[in-house]
Structure 1
Amino acid sequence: MTATSRTSPVIARSSLEVDMPQPPKRLTPSRGPLDLFGSEVRRYRTMAGLSLAQLAEQIPYAPSTIGEIERGESGCDRGFAEQCDRVLDTRDALTHLHDGLFDGRSAAFPEYFAGWPEYESQAEVLRSYEPLVIYGLLQTPGYADVLLYGDQQAIEARMDRQAVLTRAEPSPPRLIYLLPERVLRSRVGASTVMHEQLHRLADPVSPRLSVQVIPDGAPHPGNSGAFVIATLPGESRIAYSVAEPHGRILDGRSDVERLHERFADIATYALPTDLSVALIREIADEVWKP
């Protein structure tokens, strides 16, 4: 067989892929505020007869960013809604919808994270592994203040997310949190901040919360970064993984199952909850007591 005959099917297939673009993602507005807002942006853009590129020429947002917002994959600030209202002549419909859905919250989160709090609120079980800092849903305001460089809007948004653990209806998610012992010994802010934070971990806000510590020196497969797995109604799973340059939401079955297996492997090296709580209190009072 000649080289030409071997490569020609690949060329033909590539041409077909170029000529037949993928259809737009089908949106389900009832899935949550990001999908609802994105579907309305797409609707008004289509009614105006503009492509993503044409809209991007008139507002300070890239076509890829607009596409992510329309697909419900990314949140946006209020300014995006205002710009779209101006160009698409919506009579402020998108700004009004943004205010009603987000109340300014989406601007407090990075775009790549904006969709995750909605999954947290839907979750029946959350499994979190954090190798460097305390998990966000369990941080004190003082600890969060140091990590977020005093950004009050971001701090308040993080504290607001924690309400999912103490809500009455529906029942709070079951939270299983794993962390290495070194996180308890790594300074974030003053000693008073660390002392308060560790006692916050040792005094769980919900009986549905368990914190388990991996003792120093225990080898484990948890050195690839932080991640959270949310089990949603119907036993479907979605995950948030922290990676460079930023985190991302994973909904591919193979990716999520791989993280689920890693979590189970890491958990085998963790102390039981009662011994973990005792170790947390010991470190709080011996290392961080002011």
Structure 2
Amino acid sequence: MVNRRKLNPDSSPMAAFGARIRRFREDRGWSQDVLAEHLSYSSQHISAVETCRKPPTLPFARELDRAFGNADTVDSFEREWRDIRHGSLLEGFPEYVGHEGRAAEIRLFEIGIIPGLLQTPAYASALAGGDVHRGTITPEQAAERVSVLAERQAKLVRLRPPTVLVVMDESCVRRPVGGPEVMGEQLEHLVAFAALPNTMLQVAPYDIGERRPFNLPMNLLTQPDRTVLAYAESQIRGHLDRESTFVLAALSAYHQLQAESLSQAASVAMINEVRKGIL
């Protein structure tokens, strides 16, 4: 073949992904043009993923699985994509997401941005777009991030949804993201979230001062068997903890945080006040 680039699947997980695409299509006698006929992606895009010039995305992996008849198998491209992506995520987060989707109760505390499970698509896209602008992720990775967040949110919509308790630092509400329209929609969504029968939303006001027990985001998951997991995250590392001493201390601190924070009614009033100010 002319201009056939040699692939080294051992050089990186992305290279292994690309080499596997080539092997699958060549086993069927397909060129990149033929494979493109089975996908919504061009042959140029397929070539770029095969040769690691573009990272694979979740939608692309799913289309490959449909084209090759590989969906919902242990050898699926979606599974391989998740392995690649999880390899670049903060330690503990992939495991946390798995437990999150099965949790009976979810307690969240966030600083600076709206918690992911409460973000609107436009707000999440604006945050991801900021990372693209700074050059820390690619546009494809930004799209993946928003897609994965939507999947996490969808898993909470079930016959018996979990109880979701959220405390947000006041900075989450007052920090503008995406412009007035995006932020207005996001704040409206928070008010709607607070009205659900299985949720509680509180704002920890600035004047809580030194009484705020957490200086980093904190997630606490109560599993169906009533065990509790704690997940804390810094800028460079995440940590999932099952050790009872730490988990019980974190749970106690969360209860203290709730006691110091505004009531849900007062929190919703603050959110509505901020929303009126940006419209």
Q: Which amino acid is the alignment partner of residue 193 of structure 1?
A: V
Aligned-pair CA distance for 1:115: 1.7
Matched, 1:202 2:182: no
In structure 2, how many angstroms separate the alpha carbons of the residues matched to 1:188 and 1:155?
15
| 1:101 Cα deviation from its structure 2 partner | 7.8
Among 131, 152, 164, the alignment partner of 2:155 is 164
Which residue in the other structure is 2:107 paired with?
127
TM-score by length of 1: 0.63
What SS class does the counterpart of residue 156 from structure 1 fall into?
helix
Structure-to-structure mapping, 1:2-81, within 5 angstroms: 59-60=10-11, 79=16
Match of 1:190 in 2: 179
Secondary structure at the residue paired with 1:271?
coil
What is the SS of the residue equivalent to 1:128?
strand
1:144 aligns with 2:116: no
- Are the counterparts in 1 of residues 117 and 152 from structure 2 also a CA contact under 8 Å? yes
- Alpha carbons of structure 1 residues 276 and 78: separation in structure 2 relative to 1, 3 Å: farther
User: Is 1:253 matched with 2:244?
Assistant: yes
- Note the C-alpha offset of 1:249: 1.6
* Alpha-carbon distance, 1:162 to partner: 0.5
* Structure 2 CA distance for aligned equivalents of residues 207 and 82 of structure 1: 49
Bigger Rg, which one:
1
Following superposition, the deviation at residue 182 of structure 1 comes to 2.1
Please tell me the residue identity of whatever aligns with 2:258.
Answer: A
Gaps spanning 5+ residues in structure 1: where? Answer: 1-57, 62-75, 87-92
* Superposed displacement of residue 102, structure 1: 4.0
Deviations 1:115-136 (A, max 9, x none): 2221011110001000221110
Q: Which residue of 2 aligns with 1:154?
A: 145
Once the two structures are TM-superposed, the CA of residue 266 in structure 1 deviates from its matched residue by 0.9
Larger RCO (CA under 8 A, 6+ residues apart):
2
1:78 offset after TM fit, Å? 10
Please point out which of 196, 214, 227 is paired with 2:218.
227
Cα distance change, pair 98–203 in 1 and its aligned pair in 2 (3 A): farther
Whole-Å Cα distance in 1 between the matches of residues 238 and 197 of structure 2? 29
Alpha carbons 1:136, 1:158 under 8 Å: kept: yes
The CA RMSD measured in Å over matched residues stands at 3.0
Question: Contact between 1:215 and 1:270, CA under 8 Å: does it hold in 2?
Answer: yes
* Farther off after superposition, 262-271 or 216-225: 216-225
* Deviation for aligned residue 1:198: 0.7
Tell me how far apart the structure 1 counterparts of residues 208 and 90 of structure 2 sit (CA, whole Å): 36
Is the CA contact 1:145–1:155 (under 8 Å) kept in the aligned structure 2?
Answer: yes
Identity %: 25
In the TM superposition, what whole-angstrom CA distance separates every residue of 1:52-80 from its partner, at most 9, and x where no partner exists? xxxxxx9457xxxxxxxxxxxxxx88947
Does the CA-based 8 Å contact 1:211-1:273 persist in structure 2? yes
Of the structure 1 ranges 250-259 and 207-216, higher mean CA displacement relative to structure 2 is found in 250-259
- CA distance, structure 2, for counterparts of residue 81 and residue 222 of structure 1: 47
Instruction: Give structure 2 stretches of 5+ with no counterpart.
Output: 1-8, 24-69, 130-138
> How has the CA–CA distance of structure 1 residues 269 and 78 changed in structure 2, closer, same or farther, with 3 Å as cutoff?
farther
By how many angstroms is 1:191 displaced?
1.5
Q: Is the 8 A contact 1:123 1:231 kept in 2?
A: yes
2:207 aligns with one of 211, 217, 231: 217
Residues 206 and 167 of structure 1: is their aligned pair in 2 closer, same or farther, counting only changes over 3 Å? Answer: farther
Deviation, 1:236, is 0.6
> Are the counterparts in 2 of residues 237 and 256 from structure 1 also a CA contact under 8 Å?
yes
Tell me how far apart the structure 2 counterparts of residues 174 and 154 of structure 1 sit (CA, whole Å): 24
Name the CA distance, whole Å, in 1 between partners of 2:253 and 2:206: 19
Find the residue that maps to 2:230 and give its secondary structure.
strand
Contact 2:165 2:200 in 1 (8 A): yes
CA offsets 1:93-124 (integer angstroms, 9 cap, x no match): 9x951528848445555253222221011110
What SS does the corresponding residue of 1:233 show, helix, strand or coil?
A: coil
Q: How many residues align?
A: 206
